[in-house]
Amino acid sequence: MPFSPTPIADLQLFTPQVFGDERGYFLESWNEQTFAAAGIDRPFVQDNQAMSPRGVLRGMHRQTGEYEQAKLVRVVSGEVFDVAVDLRPDSPTLHQWFGVVLSGENHRQLYVPRGFAHGYLVMSETAIFSYKCDNFYAPQAEAGLRYDDPTIGIEWPELDVEFTVAERDLNWPLV
């Protein structure tokens, strides 16, 4: 099975089978049957893509209420340190985080269920980050938490550049 469990229930790491030859490679980044067999049976309704340079930190984002989103995230090119924080109120892993390197080379993807905050740090010169969502973006339901919240204690990789963080991401509350 191409799925690996993480220390946080329902958060799953997917490593697709890659078929390579002298022409390059081919992989299935999404197959409804494969994901349903692993318990991920989401009706993805929106795909998003972002390009960012080294040191950009996007997060920690989520949507609330009826607009919560599950996401399937991956990197098309470059490399990021990807993080999900469990914010499900009744979860035994509430406020725990999981981080993993996703890259255009390792092809890994992270399934982030509803109830998590999500963010990433670009570690390569640039990165193209792509993700599927199971609910449409709703600006009125946007929420987040600080990427450097001491209660959460995310251990971001050290880079030789200062992090570039959007003003709104600097103003998210602590948990």
Q: What domains lie within the chain, and their CATH numbers?
A: 3-170 (2.60.120.10)
Taking residues 89-101, report their average pLDDT: 98
Q: Is-catalytic flag, 118?
A: no
Q: Is the pLDDT of residue 135 over 80?
A: yes
How far is residue 7's CA from residue 24's CA, in Å, rounded to a whole number?
34
Q: What is the pLDDT of residue 55?
A: 98
How far is residue 36's CA from residue 127's CA, in Å, rounded to a whole number?
29
Q: What is the pLDDT of residue 142?
A: 96
What's the pLDDT band for 35 if we cut at 50, 70, 90?
Answer: very high
Q: Is the pLDDT of residue 99 over 70?
A: yes
Catalytic residue among 25, 61, 111, 137: 61
Please state, rounded to an integer, the average pLDDT across all residues of the chain. 96
Residue 119 in tokens:
């963010």
Q: What is the pLDDT of residue 5?
A: 92
The torsion of the CA quartet 166, 45, 41, 60, rounded to 10 degrees, works out to 10
What's the pLDDT band for 1 if we cut at 50, 70, 90?
Answer: low
Catalytic residue among 107, 111, 118, 131: 131
